[in-house]
Amino acid sequence: MYYYIKNTLEKTNKLNFKGKNGQFVAVLTSAEWLENRGNFDMGIEMDIDLSAIHSTKAEVNYDSLTGTFSIPDRDNISMPNTNFAFALDEKGIVFIDDSGYVDKTIKNIINTKRWTMPSLERFIYDFLEQIVIRDRIILERVDKELDSVESSILDGEGKDPSQRVSRIRSDLRDLRTHYDQLIDLGEELEENENDFFNEDNTRYFRLFTQRVSRLRDMTASLRDFSIQIRDLYQSQLDVKQNRTMALLTVITTIFMPLTLIAGWYGMNFKYMPELEYKWAYPAVIAVSIVIVIVSLLFFKKKKWL
């Protein structure tokens, strides 16, 4: 698929590589790139193995800028990333993509964007914006989910949230890595080492870098929040265990004197005067009751019950 950058992207069946019709956008499969890369005159021999892409990055060459994208699935971040490559110079940009991601993104740009001052820089900015366009909503959803988990812990619900929080923390870590890579890419574009871009238009890349930096900071804050929730849950477990141990200690303390009495009078020595006394049994019962009541009042006063 070939496009010229006008007030929007205008589809064309063939590109004029001498640049008479303006800057272009091309979307090729890896097989089409190997067949047609000589036509683009970018001075590179880029053999693309899309399965070997693991990060988003850019690399400055003598007369071109090449790089790769590795985009997490925003609906399920733990799924494999979408990978594609690109190459650009002052005439335009070529995407090498077998997944269909770039075609879908370009259709969204065509449907939503109209440019009063069209340029390659503006197209790249809008393309990058499409990558992160839903991320603030996603992060706000994560924030609400973490709030829900925290409320559940504070309300004393017994369900263990550790697995849920661990999944969120893992997703946030992957997103933060992705944002770091996007920031590096934006800074590489803004540097404009090969003078492919109009200096006035490099502000687009700076705007994108600033936006992604805010998303990265938000992700870092949410990850810290998830760690606090894990610690909160552990502290709640510790409180419950302490309460259980305190209750067992109180029960043990109450029954210790009763056990002593039972052991003492269970010996049945012949010369124990209480054995012959008719009120001995009721007296022992009364003493035991008094011991229990006094113990309970004592622990109540100490707020151990």
**47: CATH:** 3.30.460
Is 184 within a domain? Answer: no
Q: From 133, 149, 172, give the residue that closes a domain.
A: 133
Strand partners of residue 60:
65
Q: From 133, 163, 186, give the residue that closes a domain.
A: 133
Residue 271: is its pLDDT beyond 70?
Answer: no
Question: Can you list the alpha helix ranges (DSSP code H) found in 84-202?
Answer: 101-112, 120-132, 135-154, 162-191
Q: Read off the CATH number of the domain in which 262 is found.
A: 1.20.58.340
How far apart CA 119 and CA 277 sit, in angstroms, is 110
Q: From 84, 113, 133, give the residue that closes a domain.
A: 133
How far apart CA 5 and CA 110 sit, in angstroms, is 10
Residue 62: is its pLDDT beyond 70?
Answer: yes
Which of 155, 123, 169 is closest to 22 using CA atoms?
123
Residue 247: is its pLDDT beyond 80?
Answer: no
Q: What angle do CA 212, 1, 105 make, to 5 degrees?
A: 25
- Tell me the per-residue pLDDT of 101-149, one tens digit each, with 9 for 90 and over: 999 999 999 998 888 888 999 999 999 999 999 999 999 998 998 888 8
Residue 178: is its pLDDT beyond 60?
Answer: yes
Strand partners of residue 26:
2, 94
How far apart CA 107 and CA 98 sit, in angstroms, is 16
Is 20 within a domain? Answer: yes
**At which residue do the structure tokens 């890419």 appear?**
185
One-letter identity of residue 301: K
Is 167 within a domain? Answer: no
CB 103 within 8 Å of CB 27: yes
How far apart CA 120 and CA 113 sit, in angstroms, is 14
Give the chain's domain count.
2
- Segment 158-183 mean pLDDT: 86
CB 165 within 8 Å of CB 142: no
- Segment 85-104 mean pLDDT: 89
128 with 252, same domain: the answer is no
Is 25 within a domain? Answer: yes
- pLDDT classification of 157: cutoffs 50, 70, 90: low
Most confident of the following: 224-228, 256-260, 272-276: 224-228
Is 38 within a domain? Answer: yes
- Segment 266-277 mean pLDDT: 69
The pLDDT value recorded for residue 106 is 92
Is 236 within a domain? Answer: no
**Residue numbers of the domain that contains 265:** 241-301
* Residue 1 structure tokens: 């698929």
The pLDDT value recorded for residue 232 is 73
- pLDDT classification of 46: cutoffs 50, 70, 90: low
Is 221 within a domain? Answer: no
* Residue 199 structure tokens: 């200096």
Is 84 within a domain? Answer: yes
How far apart CA 98 and CA 85 sit, in angstroms, is 10
State whether residue 47 is helix, strand or coil: coil
How far apart CA 283 and CA 186 sit, in angstroms, is 88
Residue 21: is its pLDDT beyond 80?
Answer: no
**At which residue do the structure tokens 């993509």 appear?**
97
Please list, in sequence order, all residues whose beta carbon lies within 8 angstroms of the beta carbon of residue 141, skipping any fewer than 6 positions away: none
Residue 265: is its pLDDT beyond 80?
Answer: no
* Residue 231 structure tokens: 């610690």
CB 216 within 8 Å of CB 176: yes
Residue 246: is its pLDDT beyond 70?
Answer: yes
**Among 21-35, 179-193, 196-210, the least confident range:** 21-35
| % the chain with pLDDT above 90 | 24
